[in-house]
Structure formats: C-alpha cells, structure tokens
Structure 1
C-alpha cells in the first residue's frame, strides 16, 4: 500500500512540472511575433501568439479609391495567413503536452 502512495506523489510532481512547462511554453508563444502576408506581400500584418495584431503595412500601390475590395481582400488574406501560422505553431508546441492526457 505504501509503495503505491510514493508512486502517486511522483506522478503528481511530474504533472506539476509538466504544467509549469506548459505555462512557460504558452507564455513564450504569446510573446512571439507572427507575420502574415497577402499575395506579393502587398499587405503584411504582425500578430503576437495570443492573436493580438501589432502592426500592419500596406503597399501604397494597393490603395485605390476605385477598388476598396482589392485592399480588403488582401488584408483578409494577410490576417488569415498570420492566424494560420499561430494556430500551427500552437498545435506543434502545445501538442506534446496534451498528447495522452485524458480530456485534452
């Protein structure tokens, strides 16, 4: 009976250590910058890992008062590109912690 308890404590320590590592990994991801861009980099946006937009650059050639849809489309492309990169990296980074955990 006593041997099982020691094993349980060891498991709890492992879980706490893993949780600390998870939080650290998530914090590092949140601080990381991700740049998304549209076709030919006409629009580039920069997000942090927690999906906050920090910057946007628009090529002046793209600003056509006659064709606002073009600019809108390029912004959507750039934003979606950045979000996709964040999602991919989050899954790669956090996936190793959630694999094999019940309920994840």
Structure 2
C-alpha cells in the first residue's frame, strides 16, 4: 500500500512539473488581434499583459473618438479570448477527467 502511495506521489510531481513547463511556455507566447479591418491591432503575451497597440492614422478622427474606443475594446477583448482559449486547451490536458471547477 505504501509503495502505491509513493508511486502516485512521484507521478503527481511529474505532472506538476509538466504543468509548470506548459504554463511557462504559454506565458512566453505572443497573441495578436485586430479590429476594423486591421485599423487597430493589439498584441499581448500569455500573461494577459498588453505589450503593443497599433492604431492606423486614418482611423484617428477627433470627431469620432467613440469609434476608435470601440475598435480598441474589440481588439483587446479578442486577444484576451485567444489567450483564454489557448490556456484552456493547453492546461486542460492535465485536468481531463478530473472534476476541478475553477482550476484554470
């Protein structure tokens, strides 16, 4: 019985190392989304940190700041969704078959 417990603990430690490696790799990834046909582009890393925002000059209209704000929001929400989807896909492989709500 004790041998089974030690073996299970070793396997859990291996899985934990794999999870940490996968998470580190996710954090190093770059994600990009654009809105308005490429007028606004938002770049983020896997830690959900926005690293760059590019705005084409022709979309800057002082009389229509709301449109630019909407494009920035759309691109930002899209890039964050990409990160969430990739994180769920990558980290989900470790929790398949386990009922652990709110784990990721």
- State if a TM-score over 0.5 links the two structures: yes
Question: What is the aligned-residue RMSD (CA, Å)?
Answer: 1.1
Find the aligned partners of 2:60 and 2:50 in 1 and give their Cα distance: 21
> Is there any run of 5+ residues in structure 2 with no aligned partner, and where?
none
Unpaired runs of at least 5, structure 1: none
Distance (Å, rounded) in 2 between the aligned partners of 1:38 and 1:98: 34
Q: Please name the residue that 1:32 is paired with.
A: 29
Q: Return the offset for 1:10.
A: 0.9
Give CA-to-partner distance per residue, 1:2-39, whole Å, 9 cap, x none: xx211111111010000011011011101110001113
Runs of 4+ in 1 over 4 A off after TM superposition: none
CA 1:102–1:10: 2 relative to 1, 3 Å? farther
Q: Does 1:87 align with 2:84?
A: yes
Q: Select the structure that is richer in helix.
A: 1
Shift of 1:102: 4.9
Structure whose CA Rg is larger: 1
Aligned to 1:22: 19
Q: Please give the TM-score of this superposition, normalised by the length of structure 2.
A: 0.92
TM-score (norm 1): 0.92
When the two structures are aligned, how many residues end up with a matched partner?
101
Counterpart position of 2:56? 59
